């Protein structure tokens, strides 16, 4: 059965791959991008199966108007894919105020507003699915990505809460958590001006690893896109979808470590209750 998708950040990376694969199987896609013309080849190939809209997700009014227009034009949208985002690279002390503001406005606030704008339409049509592209960095953290992690941990908390709010309306969520994957992510990162004081710290080590190629990138972007589409097609997908061996290993290790440490604090936690309760 043909399905209709709305995908932000459709011009490159996982968004582009998903768009290509969905159109190839006969689905309809509304794809948003910031650079006009980036998907002209797909428009020529698939015609009215692909609707292109220029959108900056930091413009909340435009997000609402674009999503309203997409539902009006398509009649029904089955899956919202909130994919637009990028990485900010630098130690917390190195990044500028403007870089922080832009990162949060795009990755966190932009994603929140895409979800908020979609909910009334999904509710009115009797349900649907929202796929939020997060990262293994929504559950673990690397030095030099502190603000990026703040946005990904933040959107995961937001989705966890909203998913509970809208379950009665037939709306469900998938948080996608890829590990390091061969996409355009690294080439589109916003880099802070490095401070020499961090050269011999974990932040400096990660910086060298990224720029000399020794930071392992094991994820296959096409396989990730296939797994995302399969999850969105599933009758009852899990809330979280970890993608790649790096993501699986890093997330399971982090969760096990957190569980062990909280268990060690049980007596202290219990002692903080009011007496008699």
Question: What's the confidence (pLDDT) of residue 219?
Answer: 80
- Three-state DSSP at 82 gives strand
Distances (CA, A) of 239 to 121, 174, 177, 234, 242: 21, 5, 11, 12, 10
Determine the average pLDDT of the residues in 151-167. 98
Residues in the chain: 277
- Domain range annotation of the chain: 4-244
Determine the average pLDDT of the residues in 231-253. 95
Is the predicted pLDDT of residue 36 greater than 80, yes or no? Answer: no
Q: pLDDT category, 184, cuts 50, 70, 90?
A: low
Question: What's the confidence (pLDDT) of residue 3?
Answer: 96
Q: pLDDT category, 24, cuts 50, 70, 90?
A: very high
- Does the domain at residues 4-244 carry the CATH identifier 3.40.50.720? yes
Active-site entry in 11, 46, 152, 198: 152
Q: Which of 10-19, 37-46, 62-71 has the highest mean pLDDT?
A: 62-71
Question: What's the confidence (pLDDT) of residue 250?
Answer: 94
Q: pLDDT category, 217, cuts 50, 70, 90?
A: confident
Active-site entry in 134, 135, 146, 250: 134
Catalytic residue at 134? yes
Catalytic residue at 148? yes
Active-site entry in 111, 148, 198, 250: 148
User: For residue 15, which of 47, 45, 48, 38 has the smallest C-alpha distance?
Assistant: 38
Is the predicted pLDDT of residue 1 greater than 90, yes or no? Answer: no
Q: For the chain, what is the mean pLDDT?
A: 93
Percent above pLDDT 90 for the chain: 84
Is the predicted pLDDT of residue 189 greater than 90, yes or no? Answer: no
Catalytic residue at 218? no
Continuous H helices in the chain: 13-24, 40-46, 60-74, 97-103, 110-124, 146-166, 202-212, 221-233, 245-264, 266-271
Distance CA 175, CA 239 (A): 6
In this prediction the pTM is 0.94
Distance CA 7, CA 67 (A): 10
* Residue 28, beta-bridge partner list: 4
Distance CA 79, CA 90 (A): 34
Is the predicted pLDDT of residue 216 greater than 90, yes or no? Answer: no
Q: Angle formed by the axes of helices 146-166 and 110-124, to 10°?
A: 20
Structure-token pair, residue 271? 């002692």
- Three-state DSSP at 131 gives strand
Distances (CA, A) of 225 to 130, 152, 212, 221: 15, 19, 27, 6
User: For residue 92, which of 129, 136, 145 has the smallest C-alpha distance?
Assistant: 145
């Amino acid at each position: 059965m043909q399905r209709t998708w709305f995908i932000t950040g459709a011009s490159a990376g996982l968004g582009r791959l998903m768009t290509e694969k969905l159109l190839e199987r006969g689905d309809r896609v509304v794809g948003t991008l910031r650079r006009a013309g980036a998907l002209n080849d797909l428009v020529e190939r698939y015609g009215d199966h692909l609707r292109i809209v220029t959108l900056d997700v930091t413009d909340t009014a435009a997000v609402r108007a674009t999503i309203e227009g997409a539902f009006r034009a398509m009649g029904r949208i089955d899956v919202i894919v909130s994919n637009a985002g990028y990485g900010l690279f630098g130690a917390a002390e190195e990044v500028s105020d403007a870089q922080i503001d832009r990162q949060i406005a795009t990755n966190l606030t932009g994603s929140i507003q895409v979800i908020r704008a979609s909910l009334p339409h999904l509710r009115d049509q009797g349900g649907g699915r929202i796929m939020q592209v997060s990262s293994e960095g929504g559950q673990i953290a690397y030095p030099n990505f502190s603000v990026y992690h703040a946005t990904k941990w933040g959107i995961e908390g937001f989705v966890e809460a909203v998913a509970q709010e809208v379950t009665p309306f037939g709306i469900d969520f998938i948080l996608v958590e890829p590990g390091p994957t061969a996409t355009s992510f690294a080439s589109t990162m916003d880099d802070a001006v490095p401070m020499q004081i961090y050269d011999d710290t974990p932040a400096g080590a990660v910086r060298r690893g990224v720029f000399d190629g020794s930071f392992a990138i094991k994820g296959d972007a096409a396989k990730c896109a296939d797994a995302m589409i399969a999850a969105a097609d599933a009758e009852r997908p899990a809330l979280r979808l970890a993608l790649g061996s790096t993501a699986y290993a890093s997330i399971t290790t982090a969760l096990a470590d957190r569980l062990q440490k909280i268990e060690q604090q049980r007596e202290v936690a219990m002692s903080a209750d009011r007496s008699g309760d």
